[in-house]
Amino acid sequence: MLAPPYADAKRLVLISEGGEVPGARHTIPAALLEYWKAHNNTMSGLAGYRWDAHGTGWSTAAFGGVVGAAPRIFLLHRIREWKPADARQDLAVVGRLKPGVTAATAQNELRDLAAQYNPYRRLSAADQAQVMPLVGRTRKPFWAYGWCAPRPCCCCWLPLASACARTGGASAASGGGIGPTFARSRCCLPLTLALVIWNSAGRHRLL
């Protein structure tokens, strides 16, 4: 989904709380989401959502209005069926910026509102609300997929490194020729690369 098929997709943003691991994203408490809805001035709409590994998605009532549809593919995940979300459950959040508002401006406002909502909850800048453009999320560079919430999945990179090593070794042994071993190694690399992306993206169950 390199070009999200939503109306004015550049105004869509994903909202989460950060974590200790770079790139980690965590769900938003339901009560805080409702507080943001009632008090923010930068979003024309906010909605919560989640899905499971079986293709079932859950979303709040505003989801269709914010995104503009109930998509069958959302953030590279295939959704077979959407159901109403439990209003008491922590959810990932998608929002639509008001015209002319930037993601950075919205992020600052949501952080201030979160501090007002719970002044006793002390969070570092990395742990506070993170607002990311939806287009940026679906066009992330490949290296970003190496980070899998809640912690980096280092084992994802081992098959890729092994494939690269075998490819290089086969190439040197064949003197640049394309022999059977070299051809097999060449086929192994794209297959392993696809496996790494699938495994990493599959771990982002909510965001």
User: What single-letter DSSP state applies at residue 146?
Assistant: G
pLDDT surpasses 70 at 155: no
Distance CA(121)–CA(198), nearest Å, equals 36
Number of independent structural domains in the chain: 2
Q: How confident is the model at residue 40 (pLDDT cuts 50, 70, 90)?
A: very high
pLDDT of residue 133: 93
Examine the domain organization and report whether 135 and 168 are in the same domain.
no
pLDDT of residue 106: 96
Maximum mean pLDDT: which of 42-46, 70-74, 191-195: 42-46
92 CB contacts (<8 Å, ≥6 apart)? Answer: 14, 15, 16, 25, 27, 28, 48, 49, 50, 206, 207
> 27 lies in a domain?
yes
> 4 lies in a domain?
no
> 3 lies in a domain?
no
* Contact assessment for residue 75 and residue 12, using Cβ atoms and an 8 Å cutoff: no
Examine the domain organization and report whether 131 and 169 are in the same domain.
no
pLDDT, tens digit, 9 for 90 and up, residues 106-149: 999 999 999 888 765 656 666 788 999 988 765 544 444 443 33
pLDDT of residue 152: 44
Concatenated DSSP letters for 97-120?
Answer: EPTT--HHHHHHHHHHHHHHH-TT
Range of the domain at 188: 146-203
What is the token pair recorded at 141? 């560079």
Examine the domain organization and report whether 97 and 185 are in the same domain.
no
Examine the domain organization and report whether 169 and 185 are in the same domain.
yes
Q: Which of 112, 139, 166 finishes a domain?
A: 139
**Least-confidence region, from 26-30, 53-57, 66-70, 203-207:** 203-207
> 2 lies in a domain?
no
